C-alpha cells in the first residue's frame, strides 16, 4: 500500500509539472502574439496619423489607436509577470534554486489521441495507484478478520527446559547429570464478549475498506469519462480554429486593414477586426493547452 501511495505521489508531481509547462507555453505564445499585434497597431497608428494630418480622418482615430496600443503594453506587462510566477512554480516543483531561468518553451503539437472509453476504464482499473492501494487494504482487512476469529481457539504452548546441575555430591550413579524437563500449557479463551467485539470490529473494518474501494472506483470512472469527453471536445475545437476560425479572422482583419487605408472601412470596424484576430489566435493556443493538460490529467487518472 505504501508503495502504491508513493507511486501516486510521483505521478501527481509529473502531472503538475506538465500542467505548469503547458501554462508557460501558452504565456509564451500570448506574449509573442501580443507583441505581433502591438507591431500591427503601431503601423496602423502611423496610418491614422498620416490620414489625420491629411484631414481624411478625425483625431479620434489616432487617440483610439494609442489607447489600444497602451492596452497591449499593459497586457504584455501582466503576461511577463505571470511567466515569472509560473517559472518560480516550476523551479519549486523541480527543486531548483529560486531565480533559475527557464528558457522559452518549444512548440507543442496536439498529441494524437486514439483511445476508446472502455479501453480507458480498463487501463484505469488495472493501474490507478489509489485503486490498487484500496484493493490491498481489503486484503489486509480480510487477514485481520481471520486472525480475530482464531482468538476463539485455545493457545497451546510446548516447551523444553535444560538445567545444568553441576558437580554431584552424592554416590548416586546419575549424580551431576544435567536435567531435561518438558512442559505443556493450554490457554483457554473465556472472555467471549471481548472476542465478539473484536470480530465485529474487523468485520466493520472490512466493510469500510470495500466501501472505500467502491468510492474510489466511482471517482476514477467519473474522471475517465469527464476527461475523455473534454479531450474529444478540445480536439474538435482545435480543428475548428485551425481550419476555419483563424484563417477567417486573418482574412477579415486584412480586408479591414486595406479598407481602412483606402477609406472604405471606418476605424472602429478595423479595430474590432484586430481585436477578434487577437482573441482568436490566443483562444487557438488556449485550446491546445487545455487539450494537452486534459491528456496529462488522464495519464494520471
pLDDT digits (tens, 9 = 90+) for 139-173: 999 999 988 888 888 888 999 988 877 665 666 66
Instruction: Report, in angstroms and rounded to the nearest whole number, the Rg of the chain calculated over CA atoms.
Output: 37
Q: Note the pLDDT of residue 270.
A: 83
Query: How sure is the predictor about 16, in pLDDT bands with cuts at 50, 70 and 90?
Result: very high
The Cα–Cα gap between 265 and 273 comes to 11
What's this model's pTM, rounded to 2 decimal places? 0.79
Secondary structure (3-state) at 182: strand
Mean of per-residue pLDDT scores for the chain? 90
Query: How sure is the predictor about 232, in pLDDT bands with cuts at 50, 70 and 90?
Result: very high
Q: Phi then psi for 157, rounded to 5 degrees?
A: -125, 125
User: How many Å separate Cα 74 from the centre of its chain?
Assistant: 31
Quick one: angle between helices 2-53 and 246-261, nearest 10? 20
Q: Which three cell numbers stand for residue 186?
A: 493450554
Of 295 and 188, the structure prediction assigns the larger pLDDT to 295
* Closest alpha carbon to 83 in 23, 123, 36: 23
Give the best-scoring range by mean pLDDT among 48-62, 113-127, 177-191.
Answer: 113-127
Q: Which three cell numbers stand for residue 177?
A: 547429570
Give per-residue pLDDT as tens, 214-227. Answer: 999 999 999 999 99
Q: Note the pLDDT of residue 251.
A: 94
Q: Which three cell numbers stand for residue 239?
A: 480543428
Q: Which three cell numbers stand for residue 229?
A: 469527453
Amino acid at each position: 500500500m505504501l508503495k502504491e501511495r508513493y507511486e501516486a505521489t510521483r505521478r501527481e508531481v509529473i502531472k503538475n509539472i506538465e500542467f505548469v509547462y503547458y501554462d508557460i507555453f501558452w504565456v509564451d505564445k500570448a506574449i509573442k502574439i501580443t507583441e505581433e499585434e502591438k507591431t500591427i497597431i503601431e503601423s496602423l497608428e502611423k496610418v491614422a496619423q498620416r490620414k489625420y494630418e491629411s484631414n481624411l480622418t478625425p483625431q479620434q482615430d489616432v487617440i483610439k489607436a494609442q489607447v489600444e496600443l497602451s492596452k497591449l503594453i499593459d497586457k504584455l506587462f501582466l503576461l511577463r509577470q505571470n511567466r515569472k510566477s509560473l517559472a518560480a512554480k516550476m523551479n519549486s516543483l523541480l527543486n531548483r534554486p529560486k531565480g533559475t531561468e527557464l528558457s522559452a518553451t518549444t512548440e507543442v503539437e496536439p498529441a494524437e489521441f486514439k483511445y476508446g472509453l472502455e479501453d480507458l476504464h480498463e487501463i484505469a482499473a488495472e493501474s490507478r495507484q489509489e485503486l490498487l492501494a484500496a484493493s490491498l487494504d481489503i486484503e489486509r482487512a480480510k487477514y485481520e478478520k481471520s486472525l480475530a476469529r482464531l482468538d476463539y481457539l485455545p493457545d497451546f504452548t510446548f516447551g523444553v527446559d535444560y538445567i545444568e546441575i553441576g558437580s554431584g555430591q552424592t554416590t548416586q550413579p546419575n549424580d551431576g547429570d544435567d536435567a531435561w524437563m518438558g512442559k505443556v500449557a493450554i490457554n483457554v479463551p473465556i472472555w467471549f464478549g471481548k472476542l465478539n467485539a473484536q470480530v465485529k470490529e474487523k468485520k466493520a473494518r472490512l466493510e469500510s475498506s470495500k466501501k472505500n474501494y467502491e468510492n474510489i472506483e466511482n471517482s476514477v470512472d467519473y474522471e475517465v469519462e469527464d476527461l475523455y469527453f473534454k479531450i474529444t471536445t478540445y480536439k474538435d475545437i482545435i480543428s475548428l480554429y485551425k481550419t476555419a476560425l483563424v484563417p477567417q479572422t486573418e482574412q477579415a482583419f486584412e480586408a479591414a486593414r486595406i479598407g481602412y487605408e483606402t477609406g472604405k472601412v471606418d476605424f472602429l470596424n478595423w479595430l474590432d477586426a484586430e481585436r477578434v484576430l487577437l482573441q482568436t489566435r490566443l483562444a487557438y493556443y488556449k485550446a491546445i493547452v487545455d487539450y494537452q493538460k486534459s491528456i496529462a490529467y488522464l495519464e494520471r487518472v
